[in-house]
Structure 1
């Protein structure tokens, strides 16, 4: 502690933000207390804490070197409601990221602590000290920092213990000076029905939810006119001054429903923006992280198994190279050197073996920096440790997990595929299923699973209905983006993307070439014999999920010749299809091919149509005759005139009678 204080005096700008969150290990209450896992993540100046070069490097990340910050996160308000340790929790971090870029110079770390706390706990915990880094666009002279969290274990209206929201960020996010920005802060919640809102941290301890100064010297640290959209935590602003840092301090809070007026917890997130002016030789387009996972993906991973994740970056100009990554990682995750496997493509590989203590959500964020200090948009994904992502099961030709496969009709409109676990709709849009032409790889049909009403998720099955006229004889295949099948836990762990053209493939029956019949004349002593595939009680692998025999666009015909004792005058019919050579004494069982089925059905249909007409025609004639007679009687002018004359006659008869009755009564 003495060394820390001495160093603080010599280097008073080491704090650069952080995050505090928590969750119960079991959200179902049992007894009067619960085990709570508390997570702290902080960003520091890379130079601070190292009394002489070399400063922190990737070696410290691999070795999980402690960051020597021997202070404490303590209880700040309503402490008597809990058994939270009076001395607080240590803030000594395990190194997770070390950014060597001269502008960033960040040393990041995190730690987890498990406490057994009573369900009466409703406290504000936080880490307060000094000093925030100097050189900020807005910074109070004190330089003090305050980052606080509300830990409330009172049971939710649904009877469970609450889980706080989670978030992640890069320590420094680069944006160009004078250019309007819309920056989204990631936020998620294990209680999937909760309403999440974010707000500005503030120092008004009399009115804010935490009842304490929430942001120290960096309250309102962004330029005037900055707009915060609470529902999706989007910041809209323009950075006015270049080569300077801007501090951002927010609180993310969860509400039980839209009617709730008080949040159930409050998670702080503090980080930096940096404004730059692009150099004259800079590429007009910033680099972008393009995969292998989409931004905001959620991936289930087991603990104890090594994960290898690839971060792929696209550059857009000659001479534009990726020189560094700024990252925010779970502890134990290492970052490879940057490689350039192909033109305009840059790769960094993440290697990580999660441990039991990391069970639950673990966030990772990255931003790629080019040689002009242009930074890509932040790219963040969430790993759910000890959760399993649903996997789409590879279709098989017969009795498989998807339908249809093999040969289908031109009007095929129903497609379905199964997963290894319960699935639901993706939580984000731009999760696409594509039907592609196998010859050209062109997309002929696509749907966004984030909202498309013709994609239905039910149990383990995804059903897709289409309205498309497929081309006869064509082959097609299906691809699906990451997360097309999403799990049911937390941020809905995603299925892996399907890009293999052989994964789900089908072709369209072409009646013009799939079946024809020919007749040939042969000598008396020989005959042409054709056999066809025979279906027995065992599975016939020549059949598809639609029951149509597999075909290709090039039918095959084989004519076999055999000697007979009773020569016919003509050869047996030859059907284009699979054939083999056999003796004529063998019995064969013919399989009806599509063309044969068409001919047979058309004969039966013609016969039934004739019989039906013969039976129903007399009845139709009677009905039509009666209708015409009725029509003629109703609208015949002679009948109409007769009715009018009859009406006038009745009037002449009735009028004298009515007059007589009137006189009689008077």
Structure 2
């Protein structure tokens, strides 16, 4: 599987039990009122169950329920809110649904440091590890001495499942406003592994984080017979990796994503996406002018609520070899 990401700027105009959790991520950003923040999250679940999603679910804006957000430190209550979310993407072959949501919350004014998060016990069966998870987000809401403002932590995203060929070394980037990468030698037993990362930011010379935001996702190690460099390739007119462009609210973003297997006589099985809310994707079909290539069309009409935000759109391709 290969992955690319596009940054979209919107201008001012051990075997475990249970199997529905596929990972999640949390972050936050300050609002104009002291101690008031917007908590941002993406939740990933098994599609063949209560979290079923298709293009109709996405286009209708159906709200799905994903558990509850807990406060671990310095709140007035133990439960902050229900984690409702809008489905943004799904994979039929890998059986996952993913979606995003946000919660606006005001913490007690007597404190400047807070911890909140999400926990449960139903990971997909893993090669090693238990079924439980806990994702803990740390927010420091005091005014920074170096900027005169409340800290704004990095925003990031990643696919629920990252597929890695057995016997190969891989570098996994964390898409977003960070330079975080994870290097992994896929030499263990084939199957699923849970990955947990904390993304933290600091003032210069400090070892105390201003924020700590969790990411949890799955690695799927699988057999490959065609070599480590045989992952599918993206072809023009697909935009280059890490491409950045601007979209006006009420404008239209369109993209043609074209992929081809590097293995002769092998078709593309699926092109999956990781999107902001409201993206629409076509079915996968052969690309007329490139033999062996397959493509999808992507369309998005952002509203004004996305103004002045930097958003990430990622896509990956899987062929029928594995």
Settle same-fold status: TM greater than 0.5: yes
Higher relative contact order (CA 8 A, sep 6+): 2
Match of 1:67 in 2: 64
Deviations 1:188-228 (A, max 9, x none): 16xxxxxxxxxxxxxxxxxxxxxxxxxxxxxxxxxxxxxxx
What is the CA-CA distance between 1:86 and the residue it aligns to?
5.0
What is the CA-CA distance between 1:177 and the residue it aligns to?
0.6
What is the CA-CA distance between 1:306 and the residue it aligns to?
2.2
Distance 1:252 1:187, change over 3 A: farther
The answer to whether 1:366 aligns with 2:312 is no
2:91 aligns with one of 79, 87, 99: 99
Distance 1:91 1:328, change over 3 A: same
The answer to whether 1:14 aligns with 2:20 is yes
Report if aligned partners of 1:127, 1:147 keep a CA contact under 8 Å in 2. yes
The answer to whether 1:332 aligns with 2:322 is no
- Aligned to 2:230, the other structure's residue is in SS state coil
Deviations 1:478-524 (A, max 9, x none): xxxxxxxxxxxxxxxxxxxxxxxxxxxxxxxxxxxxxxxxxxxxxxx
What is the CA-CA distance between 1:116 and the residue it aligns to?
4.2
The answer to whether 1:240 aligns with 2:187 is yes
The answer to whether 1:130 aligns with 2:78 is no
What is the CA-CA distance between 1:138 and the residue it aligns to?
1.9
Distance 1:25 1:347, change over 3 A: farther
Distance 1:356 1:180, change over 3 A: same
Q: Which structure has more strand as a fraction of its residues? A: 2
Report if aligned partners of 1:119, 1:154 keep a CA contact under 8 Å in 2. no
Structure 1: 5+ residue stretches without partners? 1-10, 27-31, 190-231, 374-666
What is the CA-CA distance between 1:363 and the residue it aligns to?
1.7
Distance 1:176 1:150, change over 3 A: same
What is the CA-CA distance between 1:287 and the residue it aligns to?
0.8
What is the CA-CA distance between 1:120 and the residue it aligns to?
4.0
Deviations 1:229-264 (A, max 9, x none): xxx42222222345401111000011122x112111
Match of 1:186 in 2: 175
Structure 2: 5+ residue stretches without partners? 1-16
1:286 aligns with one of 207, 210, 231: 231
- Aligned to 2:59, the other structure's residue is in SS state helix
1:253 aligns with one of 197, 200, 208: 200
Aligned residues: 300
Deviations 1:450-488 (A, max 9, x none): xxxxxxxxxxxxxxxxxxxxxxxxxxxxxxxxxxxxxxx
Distance 2:212 2:273 in 1: 24
Deviations 1:419-469 (A, max 9, x none): xxxxxxxxxxxxxxxxxxxxxxxxxxxxxxxxxxxxxxxxxxxxxxxxxxx
Match of 1:90 in 2: 82
Report if aligned partners of 1:316, 1:344 keep a CA contact under 8 Å in 2. no
Distance 1:318 1:351, change over 3 A: same
Deviations 1:504-559 (A, max 9, x none): xxxxxxxxxxxxxxxxxxxxxxxxxxxxxxxxxxxxxxxxxxxxxxxxxxxxxxxx
Distance 1:120 1:330, change over 3 A: same
Deviations 1:614-651 (A, max 9, x none): xxxxxxxxxxxxxxxxxxxxxxxxxxxxxxxxxxxxxx
Report if aligned partners of 2:233, 2:262 keep a CA contact under 8 Å in 1. no
> Please, what TM-score do these two structures have when normalized by structure 1?
0.42
Match of 1:79 in 2: 75
The answer to whether 1:45 aligns with 2:36 is no
Distance 2:86 2:215 in 1: 19
